[in-house]
Structure 1
């Protein structure tokens, strides 16, 4: 369930927004309120909000301070700011800080619901893009464009790797298969691919592992075998080096525990 956090030091505005959103959400969203920027920062240090609705002018920590403080937050919410007509310059600053929309007081219910719906759609789209970026290896993606310019031997090597990731592949084995000197093949491969053979093989294996983690419910140990690692312990170590988190954690974060990308 996605969460909307309302931050406003005026009880009437804060509770009015909450009441309107509670009726609109019909239990499909969690609606939370705090009455200051200080409380919002404390709340966000232990909870996750997908949408932040914040007043601009508040004591101690303003809405601008709040949005600015969250710019590098790992789970940064999309933000809507609330402002009076006389504070419009603050709204412009908030938009530069990353707010996606604004509401002017007094807030009309229909406009509130329209702006909230748009913001949640943007949050969903952003999250989907972030998930896709974590699925695709940028170096391998860049290599796709230059594949047509590869020499025949390197093309054959890449195709063989792709179709035999579960096997104990080595540079020497592929060089022999291609009837090439191993040292020459090593230099040629790096020259054409832009990365060494070992790094390419590792990235291909981890890429396949990510696909299996998201598209199947296979246990990590079986996935490890399918991408050519003899022990799941070593596979987990390499995966963490590449993706900065374990295979199990990756599956949870990217798929949202669903086992697939929707």
Structure 2
């Protein structure tokens, strides 16, 4: 199990990336910051921040997961771009740019947003290419944290209640862009036999980090969520179609009808045949 150490990368080579970001922020009169995949601040906010502004206050925060949806509440404009490490083909976080916008200033929000989007795209290119040089010079092993399998994590996986999962996914919400993309991919491919490795690679995260992030953001392990969505769709098909149970099982990526029936009963309390005739009346 391993995870990329973004903080070490930012601080390496005499803080080259930090100095570059600080200089760009001051020159362009914006704030720049880097968030990890968990939306936590990695090395402070770069740029000259006026005391009392929202951006200055945010410099004291670590979790900025709600920033993109609350930008108008904070009187600022904001843009970001994902950061990927080519040598391991993983997303490691995102580069973010922001600017305070006072209601009385008369600044055009759309124009500011478009400019910030261009700056975020440029900084993504800058950081990824400088990172490539740093990693080539120092070696990827200097920026990878390796973990042994945590027994407590394995136990946590067993604590998920399949019986409550169907209710939980109805009210589940997350603002993490990687998890949103993963959920969209899962929901579009319920007919396939998806694995943790496949889905984590689609959002450019290590399987270890993706597993922990998914559980933190959704409250469910990847496998429980995946099966809950498959069973949720099976419930609809059983009630609203005349497809056979065997066809429904196959169409949802189950290789054996017996396993589908066992899983369905775990999540709903009914066998598929009984649910079709008696359930949800």
- TM-score after normalising by structure 2: 0.40
Structure with greater contact order relative to length (CA < 8 Å, sep ≥ 6): 2
Structure with the largest fraction of helix: 1
- TM-score after normalising by structure 1: 0.43
